[in-house]
Amino acid sequence: MNIPLNLITESRHCWVFAVHVEKLVKIYDNRRVLDGVNLDVPEGEFYALMGPNGSGKTTLASIIAAVKTQDSGIVEVYKNKPAQAKEFIGYVPQENFSSPKLSGGENLMYFANLLGYSRRQANQLVVEMLQNVGLSEEADKRVAKYSGGMRKRLEIATAIFPGIKVLILDEPTTGLDPTARRAFFNMIQEIMDKKTSIILITHIGSDAELASRVGLMDNGKMIAEGTPDELKRKHAVEDAITVETAMKSDSVVSVLKDYSINGKVTESEVGYKIYSRNGDKILADMVRSLDQAGQRVMRIEMARPTLEDVFFRLTERHLQEAIE
């Protein structure tokens, strides 16, 4: 079914943008840390900004959060300048800011007092927020005794007081083990159910994969944007398929060439590797073809392309190399 372009445009115009950034520039020491960045985040969207250290993503986040100001360009949060929309913005920087000397509950009480809540209102809110982030049983424990994941959840709670519509998280899973990371993103999903817009700053592809849209940044520019699947398709990132047969032979290579996107077959210590854009659709046929050629498949593995692969395709640098 073809949808008329005018209807798509009209639909986009009906969206409520929580964040709008246009031609944003920030200069430090004669260097453009942000160089003409454009960004729109619709209300309720989970958006990830991914790139290496120094790419400009943290600077962009801090400007949206009204922590820093731009040199030129437009930044709006619900059509207001960030400084005029602070009550809508929750910002969790990469560095820990909760007091280790206070309990979790005391930390939240401190922030509630800063925001002007009465003691009765603050007490009620603290109970609710500790429950929302799964720390009710740890409310009276000093933060110094919290795990890294627990402390990060507490700091998320300080940023989601009632009225917050945009939550900005800067590298929130750094230092967390896989279990803590899964728990963290389960919590984020619950926040999404409340229609809060979330902007995740990360250099970890598997974290960015969870977002509905991803913006890739490098050297102060937005170099690509789309859903994770769109980015992989658009930038021709393929599935890598590794095949190990009972023995290597020219007949194996001949069969695999028919399934390789470019007709190339790479030999490894244990078998062969090819690339395909539809790996899941060809695996069964490929195994049958090898069997018909008298070649028994001992092992076959397929590695899905990652957002790190997309970054490499666009910049010819591995993300970790760029970070270093």
Question: Lowest mean pLDDT: which of 58-62, 117-121, 318-322?
Answer: 318-322
- Half-sphere CA count of 129, side-chain side, radius 13 A: 25
DSSP letter, residue 144: G
Residue-level pLDDT at 14: 57
Tokens of 295: 């070649």
Residues 143, 148, 153, 157, CA torsion sign: positive
Quickly name the fold that domain 15-233 has. Rossmann fold (3.40.50)
CATH superfamily label, 238-304: ACT domain (3.30.70.260)
Backbone angles phi, psi at 169, to 5 degrees: -120, 115
Q: Do domains 15-233 and 238-304 have the same CATH topology?
A: no
Q: Which amino acid is at 179?
A: T
Q: What is the pLDDT of residue 219?
A: 95
Rounded Cα gap, residues 187 and 219, in angstroms: 32
In the structure encoding, which two tokens stand for residue 44, read together? Answer: 């309720």
Taking the domains of the chain in order of start, what are their residue ranges? 15-233, 238-304
In DSSP notation, 107-119 reads HHHHHHHHTT--H
Is the per-residue pLDDT at 146 higher than 90? Answer: yes
Query: What percentage of the chain exceeds 70 in pLDDT?
Result: 94
Distance, CA of 231 to CA of 310 (rounded, Å) = 7
pLDDT bin (cut points 50, 70, 90) of residue 184 is confident
- State the residue for tokens 């899905």: 304
Task: Quote the CA–CA distance of 183 and 188 in Å, as a whole number.
Answer: 9
* Residue range 87-133, pLDDT digits in tens: 999 999 999 999 999 999 999 999 999 989 999 999 999 999 999 89
- Residue 194 predicted with pLDDT over 80: no
Residue 224 neighbours by CB under 8 Å, 6+ apart: 215, 216, 231, 234, 235, 310, 314
